Amino acid sequence: MGGIEFLKGHGTQNDFVLLPDPSARLDLTPERVAALCDRRRGLGADGVLRVVRASALGLESAGEWFMDYRNADGSIAEMCGNGVRVFARHLVDAGLAEQGEFTVGSRAGDRPVVVHPDRSVTVHMGPATITGTSVTMVAGRPFSGVAVDVGNPHLVTALDDDVAGLDLREQPEYDHDVFPSGVNLEFVNVLGEGALRMRVHERGVGETRACGTGTVAAVAATLHLAGTDAGEASVDLPGGRVLVTVERGGATLTGPAEIVARGELDEAWWAAAGAPGGL
């Protein structure tokens, strides 16, 4: 077997290892994902994007390619908004899709994307559904938020205090009865009409510098709190800015997507990373 190809990329500094695996041959265990994403013993990333043909997994999709997304702790998530932009960027760079509009499959369903000439990517994210309210606790301080489903679960809290002041180094507490599979936690400041600032603590990762599904949830939740269900906003994150539109039928996310590096994984490292207990 030859070396295992990888790429490294990011969307607003939410970073990923991409593993091209068109025929679904890789044994991508949670241990290997966690080792790859570790910033000292691996390549370092917030998640892994396996680039696999939908047909190789026996999946129905309008698109040829399926984004098999994994969080840094090895867990599986339904959808990743920054990841799908980087995934689309790779498909075009690698000549596997034409610049313009095509569809990427995800566990949350098909996601049409548009790769623009300026290298930004727009993703049709599907509906952002308000599912209720809940409470999270950050460093002993309770915050009430709006629960939003964007294919994956989110709880969005709008704060008057600057979000920069929050300590998100530890996992904030949340209601496990409301979110039995865990939750992504977004904290936002409304800067004015159509402008938000956001920080996020992601399920399966920790604090990241951006979360695309989280920005869609944040815009949907703040519109909901303002008594409407449609609108658009720019969202400033530690890793950059994205633009989000929310309508009744679906949301869009537009932002940058970059491929940083390409290489080959060491085969002995890959074998050891998959052994019981990992590396």
Q: Is 60 annotated as a binding residue?
A: no
Q: How far is CA 214 from CA 152, 165, 267, in A?
A: 9, 19, 35
Instruction: Please state the closest distance from residue 270 (CB atom) to ligand LBFN2T5F, in A.
Output: 23
Tokens of 9: 């990329």
Active site residue 37: no
Active site residue 80: yes
Angle at 192 between CA 186 and CA 195, to 5 degrees: 50
Within the chain, residue ranges assigned H as helices are: 30-37, 81-93, 212-225, 267-274
Rg (CA), the chain: 18
Q: Quick one: 207 or 270, whose CB is closer to ligand LBFN2T5F?
A: 207
Distance CA 1, CA 206 (A): 35
Q: Which of 79, 80, 155, 265 is catalytic?
A: 80
Q: Do residues 54 and 61 make contact, with C-beta atoms less than 8 angstroms apart?
A: yes
Q: How far is CA 275 from CA 2, 25, 30, 41, 264, in A?
A: 19, 17, 11, 15, 19
Q: Is 14 annotated as a binding residue?
A: yes
Q: Quick one: 63 or 204, whose CB is closer to ligand LBFN2T5F?
A: 204
Q: Which of 211, 216, 217, 223 is catalytic?
A: 211
Which residues are at the interface with ligand LBFN2T5F (CB under 6 A)? 14, 47, 71, 77, 80-83, 152, 184, 202-205, 208, 211-214
Instruction: Please state the closest distance from residue 153 (CB atom) to ligand LBFN2T5F, in A.
Output: 7
Q: Quick one: 44 or 55, whose CB is closer to ligand LBFN2T5F?
A: 44
Instruction: Please state the closest distance from residue 205 (CB atom) to ligand LBFN2T5F, in A.
Output: 5
Active site amino acids: 80, 211
In the annotated binding site for substrate, the residues are: 14, 71, 81-82, 152, 184, 202-203, 212-213
